[in-house]
Structure 1
Amino acid sequence: MMSNLNVKLDKTDRKILEILQSNAKITNAQLSKEIGLSPAPTLERVKKLETSGLIKSYHAKLDTEKIGLGVSTFVQVTLKGHNKRNIDKFLDEINRIEDVIECHHITGSGDFILKVIAKDIASYQKLMLEKVSEIEVVDSLQSMVILATFKDSKVLPIPQ
């Protein structure tokens, strides 16, 4: 799905976006060196990309194992009825559960797919039984435990 860009991206803007996605902690001086501009226009371009909304935020990617989050799952959710009231009710409830780190409205046999992260299987089970399955508009849940992750890129391809 393509949306209209309000900002025209040239080759330099694309390079800035690629670099910042890979290393958001890069200094302006280093970034300017890599794209071949002096620091002032480099900073100006980054600010333009931020204010346009193309750059939404900067995040630190944490090591889930090192912070004690050993279980990641995808959960397919089917609602009791696919109508605006049920969708709004579900989203209101799901947004309050911090262990649900992603929520996507999908096509196919389910209505939503969640990415859930928990300390261990017992914590995951408790979360599902006491929170997610207790949302009144939820009809069914299908869990898929992630055994291993071989690619977890947050770098988006920048269309030409």
Structure 2
Amino acid sequence: MKLNSLHLKLDEIDRKILEILQSNVKITNAQLSKDIGLSPAPTLERVKKLENSGIIKSYHAKLDTERIGLGVHTFVQVTLKGHNKKNIDLFLAEINQIPEVIECHHITGSGDFILKVISKDITSYQRLMLEKVSEIEVVDGLQSMVILSTFKDSKVMPIPNT
């Protein structure tokens, strides 16, 4: 791995490790080393380098949201009262305190941010929008899009050949 402008250069083994770990985070080091054709010690060393470099940021369990009672998923486009650093900082400070907002992206176009929000049901979603999100001082407008069905929800990143 070599620093190349803003990203690290990955060799074929690094890319293979990343592909395998994205699809099976619970794989043992012994199995991973067998799958990539290295012995366990150098395999573990490569994984640690990928973690320490920040390429591997964390490991997560993907939950079945319906089974845990989170059945309503929405995207919410947010427009601020003014697009300046002070308003953006105020908005982000507030939005980061709302656990139902699971993603927040600064965007171009007609809005300023797009949020991915998850809630128990429509009633709790409506309460969240009315009592929390729309009450953020710098929020000017909200446009909600309820997700009816999801046909692709991959968390696997394609690893480019660099």
Superposition TM-score, scaled by structure 1 size: 0.97
Superposition pairs of residues 8-157 of structure 1, within 5 angstroms:
8-157=9-158
Secondary structure class of the residue paired with 1:78: strand
Percent same amino acid among aligned pairs? 85
Cα distance, 1:52 vs. partner?
0.5
Amino acid at match of 1:24: V
Structure-2 separation of matches of 1:101 and 1:9: 30
Structure-1 separation of matches of 2:126 and 2:138: 19
Consecutive unaligned residues in structure 2, runs of 5 or more? none
Secondary structure class of the residue paired with 1:86: helix
Structure-2 separation of matches of 1:49 and 1:96: 30
Consecutive unaligned residues in structure 1, runs of 5 or more? none
Structure-2 separation of matches of 1:45 and 1:152: 28
- Corresponding pairs, count: 158
Amino acid at match of 1:27: T
Greater than 4 Å deviation, 4+ residue runs: none
Cα distance, 1:135 vs. partner?
0.2
Amino acid at match of 2:84: N
Superposition pairs of residues 1-12 of structure 1, within 5 angstroms:
4-5=6-7, 7-12=8-13
Superposition TM-score, scaled by structure 2 size: 0.96
Amino acid at match of 2:71: G
Secondary structure class of the residue paired with 1:101: strand
Cα distance, 1:159 vs. partner?
1.1
Structure-1 separation of matches of 2:36 and 2:60: 22
Secondary structure class of the residue paired with 1:12: helix
Structure-2 separation of matches of 1:93 and 1:135: 7
- Let me know the Cα RMSD of the aligned residues: 1.1
